Amino acid sequence: MIAGKQVTQDQVAAILQLRRKRSEVFGHGLFSDPAWDILLELFEAELAGRKTSLHDLSSIAPESTLARWVAALEERRLVVCRLDPLRPGRFQIALTTECATKLSVFLTDAPLLARLH
């Protein structure tokens, strides 16, 4: 992460909770932004010190859709995928250091984030 102000796991979790609540209220499928949801989920997992697999992201979209988005994010060097050594056939997905820094800067600059606990 970057020096200075830091985004907390609770703040990112609050953003994710708000996005999920929006889907509950207005219905699933109306708002679709899988790339952003993937990045937020991975950022929250990183802040929590958790490893993430494609299967762990299954609440965002079907696995085939996730796989396409993860491939696009990997192509842009925002995420990195590796075979999970403990679970054959599964991939671990993580943010690149550069992407984590960009998310931290972006979310730290968001005025609303300062009020999320």
- The domains of the chain are located at 9-115
Residue keyed to tokens 């085939």: 64
Q: Which three-class secondary structure state does DSSP give residue 106?
A: helix
Model confidence at 11, pLDDT cuts 50, 70, 90, reads confident
Whether the Cβ atoms of residue 108 and residue 47 lie closer than 8 Å to each other: no
CATH number of 9-115: 1.10.10.10
Q: What is the mean pLDDT of residues 43-70?
A: 90
Q: Which residue has the higher pLDDT, 56 or 31?
A: 56
Q: What is the pTM of this model?
A: 0.81
**What sign results for the dihedral spanned by CA atoms 105, 111, 116, 117?**
positive
Q: What are phi and psi of 88, to 5 degrees?
A: -55, 140
Model pLDDT, residue 71: 95
